[in-house]
Structure 1
Amino acid sequence: MKFLRYLNYEKPYIYLYLVSFLVVAAIFFTDSHDGLDWGTFFYAFALSVIVLIGFLIFRYQQNVRIIQQMKSQQYDSFSLEGEFAKAYIDELKREHIREMNRIQDKQKEHYNFIVSWFHEIKTPIAVLRLLQQTDMDKDSLREEITKIENFVDQALYYAKLDSFNQDYDIQNCDGIRIVKETIKAHAKTFFSKKIRIEINAATLDVQSDPKWLQFIVNQLITNSLKYTEPGGEITISVSETPKEKRLIIRDSGIGISQKDLPRIFNHGFTGETGRTHTNSTGMGLYLAQNLSTKLGHYISCTSEVGVYTQFIIHFPKDDDLYLQLKKTHDD
C-alpha cells in the first residue's frame, strides 16, 4: 500500500516526535515540584531543541549523501515523492537513451545510403563516358539515363520519408494504369533483354497517392527486370478478397533463397542475389515497403530460386476516412 510506503519514508519524523515526547514526559515525571515550574518547562524545551537540531543535522547529512550518490546513479529515495520522481527520471533517461540510439541508427542509415548511392550511380555514369568515346547507341544511352533517374528518385524519396505526412494526397487511382506507365518507361529494357510482359487485368481501382504508388511499382518492376534473365517473362495480375485488393507482379527470374526472403525489405539488405549482382544496394525494396506502409498498404513476397519471384501489393478495401471527409467537404 502507498500509505505504508509513505509511513516508511516518514519514520525519521515519527522517531523525532517520539523522542521529543519521551524527553518532555521524563522531565515532568521526574520533577519533584508541584504544579508548573517554568524552569522545568524551559529545560524540557531546551532539550527538545537540541533533539531537533540533532535531527536536522542527521537529515542534512542524509541529503548530502544522497545528492552525492545521485551522480553515480546508485541511491535510495528520500521520500515517497522522491521515489516516484526517481522512477520518472529513470524512465526519462531510458527514453533519452532509446532516442539517442534511434538518432544514431538513423544517421548511420543515412551515411550507408549515401555511400552506397554514390557507388551505385557511378556505374551508369561510367557507361555514359564509354558511350561518348564510341558510336553512341541511343537505346543504351536511354537505358543508362533511366538508371540514373531511378537512383535519383530513390535518393529523393528516401529524403522525404521523415516528412511523408506533408507530401501525400490519397485519392482513387487505377493501379493497372500506373503499371502500364511504368512499363512504358522501361520499354527499351524489356526490348533489349527480350523479356515478355503480360498484363492480365484491365483496371484496379485502389485508394493511394498516385505519385508514391508509381514509385513503389517502379521499384518492384525494376527489381524484376534486374534479376530476370534475357528471354524471361513478367506477369501482372490482380486478385480480390473480402478484405483487400492485390496487385501481383511475378517474374521468371533467378529467385530469392528462403533464408534471404524474410529480410529482403530490410535497409541495405542484398543477400545472395545482391552479391551476385554488384549494382544492388538493397534500397529499392526497403523504400517500397516503407512507403507502402505509410500509405496503408503493404508488400509481401514469395519466391523459389531459379523459378520465380512474386511481389504482391496489398490494398485494404475499407473505405478511406480521409476520402470520405474530403468528399463531404467538396459537396
Structure 2
Amino acid sequence: MSDLERNPAEVVGTGDCEGPALELLEGREVVLGRSTTVRRLLPNKNRRMVGAWCFVDHYGPDDLTQRVDSYGVPGERGMQVPPHPHTSLQTVSWLFEGEIEHRDSVGSHAFVRPGELNIMTAGNGIAHSEVSTPDAPPRLHGAQLWVALPDGVRTTTPPAFNAYADLPRVDFDGAHATVMIGTVAGVTSPAPAYTPLVGADITIEPGRTLSLPLTPSNEYAVLVVEGSLTIGELSPGFGEMAYLGAGRESIELSAADGARFLLLGGEPFEEQLVMWWNFIGRSHEEIVAARDAWQQAIADGGNARFPMVPGYEGDPLPAPALPATALKPRPRAR
C-alpha cells in the first residue's frame, strides 16, 4: 500500500527499547486516494517501530456496495492504489475479508485473499499496484504492514514477491493462531524474514483467556481487529494497538465477548531509518535519489531501478514534493 499523504512526514527510528510495557497506541485516520480511509497505527506519535515493523495501516470493514464520495456521488469501488515505488522494505498484505488484485514491476500478478499471505521484498527498488476489482466481494477489511530491511540486504536482495495460501496454525486452549511470519509457540511460517520477526493472526473465543508464549528478546504489540481485549489494566478495542514492550516470556489476554488481533513483534531494530512517503533509507540523500529515480521512471516509462508495472491500465502515482529542509533523525520513541 502507498502512503498517499500530500505532505508526508519524515520518520526516523533508532533501536531504543524498554523492558515490559503496557501502552495504548491510538491510530489516526488517513485517506488513501478517493475511496479508502485507513487507521494508521505505525508510525505513531509516541512509537515509530515494533521490532522491524515500521508501518501499520488497518482498514475496513468497508461495505463496497455503498461507496459514495463526499457529495453522495458513486465513487471508486474499494481500494484503488496506482503503481507506486518502495525501497529497503517488505510489504506484508493481510486480509480478513474481501479481495485485492496485486501487480508489481517484477511481473507478479496475484490476488490477496483472507488467510493468505502476500509479501513483497523491495530490495533497492520495486513498484506495485493494489486494486479492488469490479467483481470483488462486497466487504473489505485488512491490514497493510511494512518491515524495514537491514543494511546487509536492503540494497542487495533482488526485488521479489511471495504468496502463501497454506500457512501453519497453532491451536491453544480457547484460541487459534495463523502464523504469518516468524515463529509462534514453536511453529514457524515459511515467509522470508531478514531479522527476527513475528506476525500472527489470533482469535480468542468468547469468555476465554489466552496465555501467549513470547520471546523475551523481542518487543511486541497487538492490533485489535474484532472485539476487544483485556491485557492487565489495558482494554484495547477495535482499531487500537497495545504496545507490550520486551522482556516477557508470556502474556495473558482475555476476551469476554471474543476477539481477533494481529500479534506483531521482533528483535528491536538497531539501525537508524529515514522514512519518507514510500521510501525507507538511511539518509536524506538516499531518499532524494530514490524519488528522482521514480520520477524519471514515470517520465521514461520505467528504468533499471523502477520498471513499470505490467498489466496495470492507468498512470503511476507521482511522488510528492520533498520538504524544504533536509530530512533529519528523530528518536524511535518519544
TM score, norm. by length of structure 1? 0.21
Q: Which has the higher contact order (CA 8 A, sep 6+)?
A: 2
Structure number with greater Rg is 1
- From the two aligned structures, give the one with the greater helix fraction: 1
